Amino acid sequence: MKTFPDGFYWGAATSAFQVEGGITNMDWEHAASQGLVPKLGRAADHYNRYEADFDIAKELGHNAHRFSIEWARIEPEEGKFNMDAIEHYKKVLEALKKRNITPFITLWHFTLPLWFSESGGFERKDSPQIFARYCAFVVKHLQERCRYFSTINEPNVFASHGWLFGAWPPFKRGRLLWIKFGKPDGTWKSAQTLSHSNILKYLRVTNNLSRSHNAAYDAIKDIAPNVDVSIVKHVRVFQANWNPLNKLLACIARYAQSGRFLNQVVKKCDSIGLNYYRHTKFGDTQTYALTDMGWKIFPEGIEFALKYLSRYKKPIYISEAGIADAKDTRRADYIQRQVTGVWNAIKDGVDVRGHMYWSLLDNYELALGYEKRFGLVEINYETLERRIRPSALVYKRICENNAVE
Ligand code: BGC
């Protein structure tokens, strides 16, 4: 048995717009109404069914749960805050508390209020102040019920999909001489703008995102000095074979994808959230089985992602890691290998404090709709019936034993 430290957090994650349903007034819903991305609709209706969903999480042995707040619900118009939405999230936190499940809140997970995206979103020079004001408002009202707050989910993924690949709102696609970033498929094609200047905009957005995190950190600490504030960073693992050129490529890729951003925010992080899904090995000759997303199956890579992050000397929470596997034939093995990777990293001295599988429920995958199935719990979108997948029971054993075999 490979045992984890006492008090280790075990659970799963969701994000508001991917499971809640019924969100209006935001950029993705607007894009869906134009036929550019699949419709969101009622999703898993988690907004109304969170109690029952947390019963399932409890039954599955989880003692932690990561979820996000929908900005468009809280601030539907610029500077106007909706207390009913705050009341809703207070009830969500109460429901977790009743079940002895520790909450981890992400303040912003990809989707933007329409007023903000239409006025330039994170291209706006004043976006850090706008974002910090929103974050401070939420933390002010929820701090009594929650200690862990992440500001931004996957800043680089957000910026690259929106401003380099043209695949997510605002559908801007970069070009550098003859090179066009991303793939021109999907219905969003008609909405894409392709230009050299989008690369500069991408850089501006990533810089504004790091400034936004830093401003939010300060604003949160002013009103709630004791909460733990983190960034959630997607780390793609880049490795190389023996070839020095490949090693150099891996170094550059690591810096561009993770190092550059993390260096800008790490001073204002009490901890770091890691999202791990993918790896690339330059010069690799191995073949891999693929997930339903077409991603190479290499859950062991999480160990390298953790070791990479350990240079920042902050506690690390795995905020997401998981597999799309509609048939549930690979998930159990994947989870066991992933958790073993986490244990290896801890054994080698990395300060990892929790593991949140992505995702508790099947959900809306960006920008693919409801076909990809990441959930420990399967959702029947006709009836909204929940069904626990067999792999969830394998994870339950790990959570309950605080150990992996
Ligand atoms: C995101 C999730 C997404 C998952 C699977 C992460 O990049 O935070 O919202 O569903 O990966 O693609």
Give the DSSP letter string of 308-365.
HHGGG-S-EEEEEE----TT-SSHHHHHHHHHHHHHHHHHTT--EEEEEEE-SB--PB
Q: What whole-number distance in Å separates Cα of residue 334 and Cα of residue 163?
A: 32
Please state the atom number of ligand 1 nearest to the C-alpha of residue 153: 8
Q: Whose CA is nearest to atom 5 of ligand 1?
A: 365
CA distance 332 to 393: 9
The β-bridge relationship of strands 352-358 and 279-282 is: unpaired
Domain spans in the chain, listed from the N-terminal domain onward: 2-404
Taking the C-alpha atoms of residue 236 and residue 274, their distance in angstroms, rounded to an integer, is 10
**Residue of 275, 360, 361, 379 to test ligand 1 pocket, by largest number of atoms within 8 Å of CB:** 275
What does the pLDDT average to over 46-54? 98
Find the 92 Cα to ligand 1 centroid distance in Å: 22
Q: Is 157 in the pocket of ligand 1 (CB under 6 A)?
A: yes
pLDDT category at 185 given cuts 50, 70, 90 is low
Indicate if ligand 1 lies below 6 Å from the C-beta of 365: yes
Topology given in CATH for the domain delimited by 2-404: TIM Barrel (3.20.20)
Measured in Å, residue 295 CA sits from the centre of ligand 1 at: 13
Q: What is the mean pLDDT of residues 105-115?
A: 98
The torsion defined by the Cα of 334, 340, 345 and 346, in degrees rounded to 10, comes to 130
Q: Where are the alpha helices (DSSP H) in 38-126?
A: 46-59, 71-74, 83-98, 114-118
Expressed in angstroms and rounded, the spacing between residue 197 Cα and the centre of ligand 1 is 27
Closest atom of ligand 1 to 277 CA is 11
Ligand 1 centroid to Cα of residue 47, in Å, is 19
291 ligand 1 Cβ < 6 A: no
pLDDT in tens, 158-181: 999 999 999 999 999 999 988 999
Asked whether 262 and 233 are in contact (CB, 8 A), the reply is yes
Q: How far is the CA of 352 from the centre of ligand 1 (A)?
A: 21
Question: Could you tell me the distance, in angstroms and rounded to a whole number, from the CA of residue 163 to the centre of ligand 1?
Answer: 17
Ligand 1 atom closest to 154 (CA): 8
**Ligand 1 pocket, 15 CB below 6 A?**
yes
Residue 301 predicted with pLDDT over 90: yes
Atom of ligand 1 nearest to the CA of 15: 9
Instruction: Say yes or no: CB of residue 362 within 6 Å of ligand 1.
Output: no
Between CA 350 and CA 314 the distance in angstroms is 9
Alpha carbon of 377 to ligand 1 centroid (Å): 16
The ligand 1 atom nearest the CA atom of 157: 7
> Model's pTM, two decimal places?
0.97
Ligand 1 contact, 20 CB (< 6 A): no
| pLDDT exceeds 70 at position 187 | no
Identify the DSSP state of 256.
I
Output the residue whose Cα is nearest ligand 1's atom 10. Answer: 365
Pocket test for ligand 1, best of 107, 320, 361 (most atoms within 8 A of CB): 320
Q: What is the mean pLDDT of the chain?
A: 97
* Ligand 1 atom at minimal distance to the Cα of residue 110: 9
* Nearest-CA residue for atom 12 of ligand 1: 365
How far apart, in whole angstroms, are the C-alpha atoms of residue 60 and residue 392? 7
Q: What is the pLDDT of residue 184?
A: 63
pLDDT, mean of residues 153-162: 97
Alpha helices in 185-330 (DSSP H): 197-223, 244-254, 260-265, 301-309
Share of the chain above pLDDT 90, in %: 95
Query: Ligand 1, atom 3: nearest CA belongs to which residue?
Result: 365
292 Cα–ligand 1 center, Å: 14
* pLDDT band for position 155 (cuts 50, 70, 90): very high
Q: What digits encode the pLDDT tens for the residues 341-393?
A: 999 999 999 999 999 999 999 999 999 999 999 999 999 999 999 999 999 99
**Tens digits of per-residue pLDDT, 314-326?**
999 999 999 999 9
Quickly state the pLDDT bin for 192 (edges 50, 70, 90).
confident
Cα–ligand 1 centroid distance for 146 (angstroms)? 23
Amino acid at 89: Y
C-alpha of residue 223 to centroid of ligand 1, in Å: 30
- pLDDT confidence bin for 186, thresholds 50/70/90: low
- β-pairing verdict for 352-358 and 2-3: unpaired
**Runs of H (alpha helix) within 12-145:** 16-19, 27-33, 46-59, 71-74, 83-98, 114-118, 127-142
